[in-house]
């Protein structure tokens, strides 16, 4: 069996990072999720400003950076008003679906495991 570029650990990590997950909330909306890069977390802190100091708020908002689309409509978060609009748009049903799907499909980031995979 010939090895291809796609068989390398780095290529596997890249492929996994580009995968999306779809979840349907209680209202029937299809929410598309994708694991964001670490830069997305830094950008979130920047756009939230002083609000990012509130750990409870950050814990509630962080899963929202996984949302890339709702019913096919792309979602971008580049201003605090867009974060708040997404919260309002998702409402309790969407936020619950997103939080559950993020935990189930992505778990907690494990940078050490990613580094170990790249070394192999």
Position 7 scores a pLDDT of 72
Q: How much is the pTM?
A: 0.76
Whole-angstrom CA distances from 18 to 36, 54, 71, 84, 113 are: 9, 30, 19, 26, 18
**Average of per-residue pLDDT across 43-70:** 94
Position 42 scores a pLDDT of 93
**70 or 7, greater pLDDT:** 70
Position 51 scores a pLDDT of 93
pLDDT digit string, tens, across residues 3-54: 555 677 777 666 666 789 999 999 999 999 999 998 999 999 999 999 999 9
**12 or 57, greater pLDDT:** 57
Position 117 scores a pLDDT of 52
pLDDT digit string, tens, across residues 81-117: 999 999 999 999 999 999 999 999 988 655 555 555 5
């Amino acid at each position: 069996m010939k090895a291809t570029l796609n068989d390398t650990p780095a290529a596997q990590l890249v492929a996994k990072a580009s995968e999306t997950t779809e979840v349907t909330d209680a209202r029937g909306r299809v929410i598309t999720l994708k694991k964001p890069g670490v830069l997305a977390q830094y950008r979130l802190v920047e756009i939230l400003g002083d609000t990012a100091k509130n750990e409870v708020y950050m814990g509630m908002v962080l899963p929202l950076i996984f949302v890339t689309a709702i019913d096919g409509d792309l979602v971008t978060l580049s201003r605090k008003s867009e974060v708040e609009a997404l919260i309002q748009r998702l409402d309790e049903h969407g936020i619950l679906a997103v939080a559950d799907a993020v935990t189930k499909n992505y778990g907690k980031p494990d940078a050490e495991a990613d580094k170990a995979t790249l070394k192999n």
